[in-house]
Chain A
Amino acid sequence: MTSPAHFLRLCLRPSRRVPNLRAAAIQQSILRRPLSTTQWRSAAADDSANKNEVQEEIDEEFGNPGEFLRKFLRDESITEEERGLATRMLEDWRQVPPNKQAQFDRLTTEVNEASADLRRPVRAKRNSFWNAEEVDSDLITDEIGEDDFEEDDMMAMGHAKLEEHREFREYARIAVWEMPLLSKLAKPFQPPTQEEILRFRYTTYLGEFHPADRKVVVEFCPTDMPGLTAAQQLKLKKLAGPRYNPEKDIIKMSCERFEHQAQNKRYLGDLVDKMVATAKDPTDMFEDLPLDTRHHKFKPKLKFPRDWYLTEQRKTQLEAQRKQALLLDEEKRTEGALIDGVDTIQQALLAAKVEEPVPVLRGRLIRGRR
């Protein structure tokens, strides 16, 4: 069913200026890469195809609705209903006084001429230095005429600063008035129960796509598994292999094989079930295999030795020891039993008989030197 809106659109078609679109497209492509080290190239092949399509669409321009309706009626493919409607509209147009028709034509021409500059595509200047004329969208003002002081208002920079300030205050208001209301939504921490022994970890990049956001990690303690004997727990640890951390007694597994988080989590859950089932299977309990912990490096926990702390008791003990040592020294000194190395040497030298120096012939010395 053809609506009058369809015809209105058809009528307005002549004033639709496709060069505007083209200009916008070119502008967009420039904006996409404000800084580029590669040379500017003309549009690619698919772009040119689009352009042809546009060209086909605008190959005819109509000055007034009468021209358009005549062209429309010449078309063979329209339905009878459309034809009747268009014929009636053409009759209406013909009954419009000729001066009004001429006025309409004149208006169209004027609008076209006046908007020609706006519709002209914006091209990068060939001799510009790094597109210096380009509009910078990151600045807080648009930089156009911002230094012109009209004596009636603040400068544009001041307005921009105020705007920035307003923005800060807006967020501060949110933080003060609205954020505390979030605490109403807070839920008290519920420690996991005996049944919830699997701890899953998910990763989100806050809605952004990331290859790691599908990854799910599960951790659990084999001793928490209900209904497992000690031997079955040991077998579970052996099954886990290098995923078992003997220092923390935790098995940690991850999966990012599937596309969605839920799939990966399901896989891990199934895997844990399978491992527990295998651990319970008594056919082979891996008793001949010792638990392998070669993958794990045990970190020695160095602690300050307890015996080294200088407690009051220890201080008094040391004091007593030192006093006793000094007493022992003093006792020995009074007895003359304290041994002095230097003194011993002096006494030994005094006691030793000093030999007469033996004269040596000098000639022998000289010959020795030669």
Chain B
Amino acid sequence: MSTPNCLRCLVRPSAGIPVSGPMSRTATTATPIAALPLTRTLTAPFSTTAASNAAPRRAFQPAASTKGHSRVGKKLQLGKFKKDRVAERGRVPQPGERKAYRKRITLSNDNAIPVPWLTDLAPADMTAAENTARVLALPEEVQDQLRAGEAFKTTQCWGMFRKPAVLVRKETVNLANQMQESADNRKTLRLVVTGDKVAGKSMMLLQAMAHAHLNNWIVINLPEAHEITTASTEYAPIPNTDPVQYMQPVYVLKLIHAIKRANEQVLSKTYTIQAHPELPQNIPSNTPLLALANVAKEADGAWPVFQALWNELTAQKANRPPILLCLDGLAHAMKVSDYRSPSFERIHSHDLALVRLFTDALGGGVQFPAGGAVLAATSRNNAPRAPSMELALAQREAEARRGAGAAGVEVPQKDPFFRGYDDRVEAVLRSVRVLRVAGVDKLEARALMEYWAASGMLRATVDEKTVTEKWTLAGSGVLGEMERAALLTMRI
């Protein structure tokens, strides 16, 4: 006669009988300790405590007095091997590692198919109108220069293709021609790139920088205005300034390094015209500007070095290459910054020396000796309201259209009962040109999509139907939306 219940199931492990059963080979190696009867003394193979101190573990200790709870010492253990398992979390990231991962720029993808017809940009390519609606690659050295100047953004899709390439648009040709014209006439182009969200404003700046690098200009790029004005970097008042201006030594040091790396070739061929005895390292005249830039080793002396560099670059009647000065996220530079003065009042962005340097140049206060360009791009993603800037840009645009002979264009006027306007911003933007970046046309869209398909990133036949579909989905060819519609979807 068999018992209705298995007797072995009624036996507790504490009774001293080992629980046996079918076990896999891996499990036998993994769980010998848990499988052992718990009443046995466990000795650690390596231990730093003395043997006498290490008391043997007891699974069940009978209560000292009858008063105690009858079940004391018994624990509810839900998982059999739970106690011995250590959750593997992998390596914990080092401080700053996550941010580095977030901010990293990947410029090539070995899995992408190389596009056979892709040619590198030549110095005059962007000014030629016949290159409109062509995708051209950035040469290796320009890639390095742009990377040093932080021209690439994490939001752009560089990491999907074999090598970075840009679409030459009508606006690109327009901008490059304006830059070239101003450099030829030794004048300074002052221009603000504006447009809708993800329309390619930052890309327009990048193309301008690429053009400048290709033509041996000196490029100074302030990649994000919010890094300067949102009180995220150190600042200090500059002595002997009235009204007080503020320098940002750490940021400026970083900027000098970026300028140095991006313009190494040009700076080494440009020489100082005056001595700079006030710097930590004496710089006599006729020294390469690269040596002057190299003087900045620490944040403490960075601002005087930058000032000396800027004075040398803008020195009149000197032999200088054209200069391109760029800033992205203009709205942040056109508001009251988050920094506080010693009397705890908020500092206007234009009182920060670096921003003032840029706004002076944008407002026409600085003449570059060999001409050049001051470009700014607005941002639609991370942008505070800057009513004066918005109004000024709308006014400049309307004036330009009226100047071009468009009928019935009304220049928007200030609202007399609104308080938020800023006179300093208006003064800066009184005479700038405005370049509006809108959607691409279908020809350009087709060129871009052919590039995507040839790189193996768009699994579709690029015919007129597909192009029109994506172009329409992207709100009449807004480039970022086209990327979202065609490139960034996981439809395989």
Contact = CB atoms under 8 A, between A and B. Distances in A.
Residue of B26, B452, B464 with highest tally of chain A CB at under 10 A: B464
A341 B460 contact: yes
A328 B465 CA distance: 11
Interface stretch (A12-20, A43-51, A238-246, A342-350): A342-350
A366 B29 CA distance: 11
Interface string B105-144: 0000000010000000000000000000000000000000
B459 A341 contact: yes
A326 B463 CA distance: 9
Contacts of A328: 464
Which range contains the number of B residues in contact with the other chain? 20 to 34
A287 B385 CA distance: 31
Contacts of A329: 463-465
Q: Considering residues A290, A294, A340, which has the most beta carbons from chain B within 10 angstroms of its beta carbon?
A: A340
A338 B113 contact: no
A345 B456 contact: yes
Contacts of B465: 329
Interface of A is mostly: helix
Given A290-B416, A290-B417, A339-B450, A344 B456 contact: yes
B457 interface: yes
A345 B459 contact: yes
Contact of B453 (A325, A332, A340): A340
Given A339-B453, A339-B454, A344-B454, A294 B463 contact: no
Interface string B459-471: 1111111001000
Contacts of B459: 341-342, 345
Interface string A7-34: 0000000000000000000000000000
B383 interface: no
A294 B417 contact: yes
Interface in B413-468: 416-417, 450, 452-454, 456-465, 468
B244 interface: no
A366 to B, nearest CB: 7
A28 B118 CA distance: 105
Given A290-B417, A348-B456, A366 B464 contact: no
A340 B461 contact: yes
Contacts of A339: 450, 453-454, 461-462
Contacts of A345: 113, 456, 459
Interface in A290-315: 290, 292, 294
A338 B463 contact: yes
Contacts of A71: none
Nearest to B456: A345
Interface in A21-68: none
Interface in B71-111: none
B366 interface: no
Nearest to B417: A294
Contacts of B30: 370
A307 B26 CA distance: 74
A366 B30 CA distance: 11
Nearest to A294: B417
A342 B458 CA distance: 8
Contacts of B457: 341
Interface string A154-196: 0000000000000000000000000000000000000000000
A344 B416 CA distance: 61
A205 B202 CA distance: 67
B456 A341 contact: yes
A334 to B, nearest CB: 13
Contact of A341 (B26, B417, B458, B468): B458
Nearest to A342: B459
A342 B459 CA distance: 5
A344 B463 contact: no
Contacts of A370: 30
A327 to B, nearest CB: 9
A341 B452 contact: yes
A341 B416 contact: no
Contacts of A341: 452-454, 456-462
A112 B463 CA distance: 115
Contacts of A340: 453, 460-462
B456 to A, nearest CB: 5
A135 B374 CA distance: 96
Contacts of A292: 417
A344 B117 CA distance: 14
Contacts of B463: 329, 332, 338
Nearest to A351: B113
Nearest to A346: B456
A294 B417 CA distance: 8
Nearest to B458: A341
Contacts of B450: 339
Contacts of A348: 113, 456
B113 A326 contact: no
A324 B209 CA distance: 37
B351 to A, nearest CB: 31
Nearest to A326: B464
A328 B453 CA distance: 18
A12 B364 CA distance: 116
A369 to B, nearest CB: 8
A348 to B, nearest CB: 4
A344 B26 CA distance: 46
18 contacts: A294-B417, A326-B464, A329-B464, A329-B465, A332-B463, A338-B461, A339-B450, A339-B454, A339-B461, A340-B460, A341-B454, A341-B456, A341-B462, A344-B453, A344-B454, A345-B113, A345-B456, A370-B30
Given A329-B465, A341-B461, A345-B459, 19 more contacts: A290-B416, A290-B417, A325-B464, A329-B463, A332-B463, A339-B453, A339-B454, A340-B453, A340-B461, A340-B462, A341-B453, A341-B458, A341-B459, A341-B460, A342-B459, A344-B453, A344-B454, A345-B456, A348-B113
Across the A-B interface, give the 7 residue pairs with the lowest CB-CB distance, nearest first.
A325-B464, A290-B416, A341-B453, A341-B459, A348-B113, A340-B461, A329-B463
Interface of B: 26, 30, 113, 416-417, 450, 452-454, 456-465, 468
